Structure 1
Amino acid sequence: MPIFSSQAKSTLKFAALACCITLITGCAKSQPNTFTFTADLPPNFAYKAIAEYVPAKGETCTVPGGRNTAVGYNMKWRESYTSNSEIAMYRTVSGCPLVISRIKLEINSSYGKERGDFGGDFATVVIPNEVEEKYKSGFNEAGESTFYGQCQWLFRTSGKPRILRKILDCKSAEANGELDRGHPFSAYTLDQLPGKTVKMKIKLADEEKPGWGDTWVKVVGGWKRCMGKGFEDQDAYCFGNHTDFSTFKMVDGRICTIYPGCTE
């Protein structure tokens, strides 16, 4: 009878686990070790994803320093972007069998030409050992599961010239567009995922709004920036003064009096 080392036994056990990820008895040799993550995003949007892995259930091994326990996708989304990411469910790093635990997602979009002229927010796909039925997402007959969100641009001014900056705020949503609490989110168990497609579908809100209240006043044609105590006043709350407004500077250099049209 062959004698296996503890390392070999661990590897054999993990191989069996990876093979038997369905709820049926026995191994399905054709069961893939990957699933596809994809996103349906508004124009000029992109996602960045980091798939995180942890030791498989029952494993006591660790990865030295936690190195190489995550895999990134679209990390340079400005230069190279693809909507489909093929994600492995099981990996072995430094001899330690790992299983995917979650996907951390960033939703990004640029609003100007400079590298800092962009906004971003986050979303999450979690893959725990167990998921309460009310939180578990399902798949259609085509093997696709979609979760939804809505992003909205929030505008503000920054610095003495009052340069217009934008913040991206993304919320979870129902398929009908009704907003939920929290950020876009979905949850699955491992047995649901082999060969399937998980899609994040994001809509962009029709209107932008101020980053926080009492700093801009809604007028015909857009929003006007309250002057406050002067250009040195970085907060510049209105405090009921809806007659004294300031100019502001667009990221393209234009000096404007109303947003988004610039001139009244």
Structure 2
Amino acid sequence: MNSMSHALNHRLLILLSAMACMGVLTGCSIGKSETFTFTADLPPNFYYQAAAVYVPAKGETCTVPGGKNTHVGYNRHWPKDYKNESIVALYRTVSGCPLVISSIRLKIYGIYGEDRDDYSGSNATVVTREVIPPEFKKEFDPVGVSAFYGRCKWYFRTIGKTRVLRKLLICKDTDAEGNLTLGYPWAPYALNQLAGKTVKIKITIDKEEVPYMKDTWVKFPNGWKRCMGKSFEDQSAFCYGNYKDFSSYIMPDGKQCTIYPGCTE
């Protein structure tokens, strides 16, 4: 390729880049980062899955047929091929329609056993808008990182005729000091905040686990005992004031137990 052809190609690339910026949002400029990084600080054996959701940019009247390809997934096959950092595009064009990111829908997963089904997940989200009210707006530190927080808790129960123990994970939003606020973990950002920056979710886990349903287990100094209910076949097995008759249960690994979490008294 001669120097004249190389120069023409270079100018064409610049022109195409400029055209890609037009009609999407103000503030788009050549050479400016049009992505941001999402990452997570999670407890051991925790993972996240994410879906970046895109909608038509402001002023656009176009639509994407069936909404196809308006979501971009990350860590779909966790924990296999898991990546803790996800590079998220602010803008995309699908079916000729300029799109802008609207949210990142997150699922925080925790693994509690060795079997492939021994896990549970809870929701979190990042919301992006052109303008965020000042009282909700998240800030970035000097190196371009902004964090939001959540606290997760394991809830245990038994299922099935053999009373196998299963766990449910529920995560709630907190402030930086760990105080619970409202709802599941979430964070709002203005679009003009995000280019080239990093958004991070920080999750802690409560040490104490509690029963998922009230009046089904009784707490003792050395752990929890499962109420018998009407009989061992009673699926709900509420205590109903009977705090003397208890049943065994089976841990996820198949071990027969009488008290949780220590298994044997």
> 1:78: Cα distance to partner?
2.2
Measure, in 1, the Cα distance between the counterparts of 2:131 and 2:239: 50
Q: Could you say which residue in structure 1 is the equivalent of 2:169?
A: 168
Quote how far apart the aligned CAs of 1:152 are: 0.5
Output aligned runs, 1:1-264, within 5 Å: 15-17=21-23, 20-21=26-27, 28-264=29-265
User: Conserved in 1, the CA contact under 8 Å of 2:36 and 2:196?
Assistant: yes
State the alpha-carbon separation in 2 of the partners of residues 32 and 246 from structure 1.
60
Give the deviation of 1:13 after TM superposition.
6.9
Distance 2:115 2:257 in 1: 19
Q: What is the CA-CA distance between 1:14 and the residue it aligns to?
A: 5.7
Whichever residue aligns with residue 239 of structure 1, its letter is: Y
Q: CA deviation at 1:221?
A: 1.3
Cα shift at 1:99: 0.3
Determine the C-alpha separation between the residues in 1 that align with 2:240 and 2:189. 48
**Whole-Å separation in 2 of the counterparts to 1:30 and 1:139:** 21
Q: Using a 3 Å threshold, how does the CA distance of structure 1 residues 61 and 18 change in structure 2: closer, same or farther?
A: closer
Q: Which amino acid aligns with 2:101?
A: I
**1:40 positional shift:** 0.3
2:14 aligned residue: none
Identity %: 56
Deviations 1:198-230, CA, capped at 9 Å, x for gaps: 000000101111002111011021100011111
CA distance change for structure 1 residues 12 and 228 in 2, over 3 Å: closer, same or farther?
A: same
Distance in 1 of aligned mates of 2:103 and 2:87: 14
Does structure 2 retain, via aligned residues, the 8 Å contact 1:118–1:166? yes
Q: Using the alignment, how far apart are the partners of 1:209 and 1:57 within structure 2?
A: 46
Q: Residue deviations 1:82-130, cap 9 Å, x none?
A: 1100000000111110000000000002212222211100101000222
Shift of 1:30: 3.0
Q: TM-score, normalised by structure 2?
A: 0.90
Q: Quick one: distance in 1 between partners of 2:21 and 2:167?
A: 48
**Is residue 24–residue 98 contact of structure 2 (8 Å, CA) maintained in 1?**
no
User: 2-side partners of 1:98 and 1:164: how far apart?
Assistant: 45
Give the secondary structure class of the aligned counterpart of 1:191.
Answer: helix
Q: Distance in 2 between matches of 1:248 and 1:19?
A: 58
Show structure 2 runs of 5+ residues with no match: 1-16
Query: Do the aligned residues in 1 keep the contact of 2:24 with 2:57 (CA within 8 Å)?
Result: no
- Contact 2:145 / 2:199 at 8 angstroms: preserved in 1? yes
Q: Secondary structure at the match of 1:52?
A: strand
Divergent runs of 4+, >3 A: 11-14, 17-20
SS of the aligned residue for 1:127 comes to: strand
In the superposition, the TM-score normalised over structure 1's length comes to 0.91
Give per-residue Cα distances to partners, 1:222-246, cap 9 Å, x unaligned: 1000111111211111112111100
- Any conservation in 1 of the 2:24–2:99 contact (CA below 8 Å)? no
2:52 and 2:71 in contact (8 A); partners too: yes
Post-superposition CA distance 1:60-92 (Å, at most 9, x none): 111111111110000001211111000000001
Q: How far, CA to CA, are the matches of 2:182 and 2:235 in structure 1?
A: 30
